[in-house]
Amino acid sequence: GQSLEQPSEVTAVEGAIVQINCTYQTSGFYGLSWYQQHDGGAPTFLSYNGLDGLEETGRFSSFLSRSDSYGYLLLQELQMKDSASYFCAVEGQLTFGSGTQLTVLP
């Protein structure tokens, strides 16, 4: 089967940097995606890693190591609006992690 592990909660202060890790076990792997979901809202796409390495999109970066079955989402210069749930997802099997609730404190 497929499974993804990510921390359930992370707390950080405004302006800080936070890293959300994701480890996965899948029978077929094509890439790792990250989604953001605010309370009451729909998930929105943040980034995708199909190859090893770092992808940068503004304040957000995502990293993948296929040999370690591991990836992370890095959020820099945290803002209050970044408080949300973050999900990693294995696209080949359309499997999502259980989500990490990020709380940004003033």
What is the binding site for another protein (CB under 8 A)? Answer: 30-31, 33, 35, 41-45, 48, 50, 87, 89, 91-99
- Nearer to another protein by C-beta: 3 or 16? 3
Grouping H, G, I as helix, E, B as strand and the rest as coil, residue 51 is coil
The label of the residue with tokens 């992808």 reads 55
Nearest to 45 by CA among 55, 65, 53: 55
Q: Say how many Å lie between the first and final Cα of the chain, rounded.
A: 41
- Nearer to another protein by C-beta: 12 or 91? 91
Tell the smallest beta-carbon distance from residue 48 to another protein (Å).
6
Report how far Cα 40 is from the mean position of its chain's Cα atoms: 19
Tell the smallest beta-carbon distance from residue 62 to another protein (Å).
13
Q: Which sign does the torsion angle of CA 46, 101, 16, 14 carry?
A: positive
71 in Cβ contact with 49 (< 8 Å): yes
Tell the smallest beta-carbon distance from residue 31 to another protein (Å).
5
- Nearer to another protein by C-beta: 17 or 25? 25
- Nearer to another protein by C-beta: 20 or 89? 89
Tell the smallest beta-carbon distance from residue 81 to another protein (Å).
18
